[in-house]
Homo-oligomer: A and B are copies of this chain.
């Protein structure tokens, strides 16, 4: 795999910049099942299952638990490896592990898959969503699955955490959509969150982000194989989902990366893009290939439900000011000024609302050429800030 493809694929969390550590975590995927779960939209689902992992050991008084929430296209593999031979560890391995910023010698770190997780084709992901079998009908839910929200993701995590006897989390943290869950936790269950670390996100999706998320979804809706969401047992809308994932990958990156990595090179030597409609630039073929590789392991309806959950997001389902007023946890808010998804002005509104509400918020920025993705790939930069935040 060449370095360009590696770069494009990094969104998947398949590849991170985390260096191999002498002392590696070996982790196992577990499954949590709720016999019954009622969504914010009022539907009761049976046998709701999500995958989860943990790193470190829960202490006797159960006061050392940390919850890590994953990003849009990620899953609960936040740190460590399933086997020593795995090519890459979990996506935040640079800051989670023995002796690392989120020190698993000290903390019991939990990470769980969300509802409607994208990676239905990945055996290491367990989720409940439109692709799951409805126990009442024996068939996939399809679009009969109810709308779910970031709050629903949080409520499932809360049930998981409580099933372990944990009453309060020492830290809730996550990048991107993981930061939305972090804000939601801090607003909806302030008594359960001792500290919060939202990364590359904001406490509310603005109109522009709602619009962008529709741009991501558009190719799925137009793909005839999507068929109004009814494609289980038939050909899935692979072409549309691949194009959707291409858009995600592009916007999650930054021009500094695209220009430095691809420039205006043709995809194939000798096939100049100007010579034929089908001849392409390298940036086009790499992004498309990465999108298709991801699409084969993903579900298009889950993508659309994730889009909806992100569009609906406003922490606590209330105004930014009212949401911030409910938070009790000190916050370490880590963002990247080149972020094209959660833009600096969205971040600034969140910071201002937190400050106006008198919250204890420390805002630090990280740098890099990946833009949004630096919040997944370049977190080592924030190590000092995280250690200081956890120590205070």
Residues of A near any B CB (own CB < 8 A): 40-41, 143, 147, 149, 204-208, 210-212, 214-215, 218-219, 221-224, 239-240, 243-244, 246-247, 250, 254-256, 258-259, 261-264, 273-277, 281, 283-284, 287-288, 304-305, 308, 311-312, 314, 317, 343, 345-346
Are B262 and A207 closer than 8 Å at their CB atoms? yes
What are 9 of the A-B contact pairs (CB < 8 Å)? A147-B274, A147-B275, A207-B258, A208-B254, A211-B250, A212-B250, A214-B287, A214-B288, A222-B223
Residues of B contacting A206 in the complex (Cβ-Cβ under 8 angstroms): 255, 258-259, 264
Residues of B contacting A346 in the complex (Cβ-Cβ under 8 angstroms): 255
Residues of B contacting A212 in the complex (Cβ-Cβ under 8 angstroms): 250
Q: What is the minimal beta-carbon distance from A290 to any residue of chain B, in angstroms?
A: 11
Q: What is the minimal beta-carbon distance from A180 to any residue of chain B, in angstroms?
A: 14
Per CB-CB distance, the 8 closest pairs between chain A and chain B, nearest first, are A208-B255, A218-B243, A207-B258, A208-B258, A207-B262, A224-B224, A207-B283, A211-B250
Q: A41-B275, A147-B277 are in contact. List 12 more A-B contacts (CB 8 A).
A: A147-B275, A149-B274, A207-B258, A207-B263, A208-B250, A210-B284, A211-B287, A215-B250, A218-B218, A221-B239, A273-B311, A277-B305
Can you name the residue of chain B whose Cβ is closest to the Cβ of A307? B277
A143 to B277, CA, bound (A): 8
Q: A211-B287, A258-B207 are in contact. Are A277 and B224 (CB under 8 A)?
A: no
Can you name the residue of chain B whose Cβ is closest to the Cβ of A283? B207
Residues of B contacting A343 in the complex (Cβ-Cβ under 8 angstroms): 255
Are B207 and A261 closer than 8 Å at their CB atoms? yes
A317 to B273, CA, bound (A): 12
Can you name the residue of chain B whose Cβ is closest to the Cβ of A304? B277
Q: What is the minimal beta-carbon distance from A282 to any residue of chain B, in angstroms?
A: 8
Q: A41-B274, A274-B147 are in contact. Are A222 and B239 (CB under 8 A)?
A: yes
A143 to B246, CA, bound (A): 24
Q: Which of A204, A208, A283 lies at the interface centre, i.e. has the most chain B CB atoms within 10 A of its CB?
A: A208
Q: A273-B312, A274-B149, A277-B143 are in contact. Are A246 and B215 (CB under 8 A)?
A: yes
Q: What is the minimal beta-carbon distance from A13 to any residue of chain B, in angstroms?
A: 21
Can you name the residue of chain B whose Cβ is closest to the Cβ of A248? B215
Are A40 and B274 closer than 8 Å at their CB atoms? yes
Contact partner of A210 (CB less than 8 A), chosen from B207, B223, B281, is B281
Contact partner of A214 (CB less than 8 A), chosen from B149, B246, B256, B308, is B246
